[in-house]
Amino acid sequence: MKILVIGGTRFFGIPMVRQLVADRHSVTIATRGNACEPFGDTVSRIRFDRTDAESTRQAFAGKHFDIVIDKIAYCSNDVRRLLDVIDCERYVMMSSAAVYQPIRKDTPETDFDPEQHPLEWLERADTDYAEGKRQAEAAAMQYADQHETLLVRYPIVTGLHDYTGRLRFFADCIRNGTPFFADHPIARLSLIDEEDAGAFLAHAACSRLCGAVNGCSEGDVSVLEIMRYIEVHTGLKAVRFASGVPSPYNGYPAFATLDTARAKASGYTFLPIRECVHKVLDYYLL
Q: Would you tell me how many other CB atoms lie within 10 Å of the CB of residue 259?
A: 18
Residue 163 has pLDDT above 70, yes or no: yes
- Enumerate the H helices of the chain as residue ranges: 13-22, 53-60, 76-83, 129-142, 166-176, 194-205, 223-234, 261-265, 273-284
- pLDDT, residue 90, reads 96
pTM here is 0.96
Looking at residue 146, what is its pLDDT? 60
Question: 246 — phi, psi (to 5°)?
Answer: -65, 135
Q: What percent of the chain has pLDDT over 70?
A: 99
Mean pLDDT of the region 119-135: 98
- H-run or E-run covering 192: strand 191-193
Q: What is the pLDDT of residue 95?
A: 98
**pLDDT band for position 219 (50/70/90)?**
very high
* In the predicted structure, residue 207 carries a pLDDT above the cut 90: yes
pLDDT value at position 145? 65
Cα Rg of the chain, angstroms: 19
Tell me the mean pLDDT in the region 86-98: 96
Stretch (H or E) spanning 150: strand 148-154
pLDDT at 143 over 90: no
Q: What is the pLDDT of residues 235-267, one digit of tens each?
A: 999 999 999 999 999 999 999 999 999 999 999
Contact 67, 92 (CB under 8 A): yes
In the chain, where the domains are located: 2-155+194-214, 158-191+217-257+271-284
* Counts of helices then strands in the chain (DSSP H, E): 9, 13
Pick the CATH number of 2-155+194-214 from 3.20.20.80, 3.30.365.10, 3.40.50.720, 3.40.50.620: 3.40.50.720
User: To 5 degrees, how large is the angle CA 3–CA 264–CA 15?
Assistant: 40
CATH superfamily assigned to domain 158-191+217-257+271-284: UDP-galactose 4-epimerase, domain 1 (3.90.25.10)
Reference 155, options 208, 115, 107, 117; nearest CA is 107
User: Percentage of the chain surpassing pLDDT 90?
Assistant: 96
Round the average pLDDT of the chain to a whole number and report it: 96
Question: Is the pLDDT at 141 greater than 90, yes or no?
Answer: yes
Q: What is the mean pLDDT of residues 44-65?
A: 96
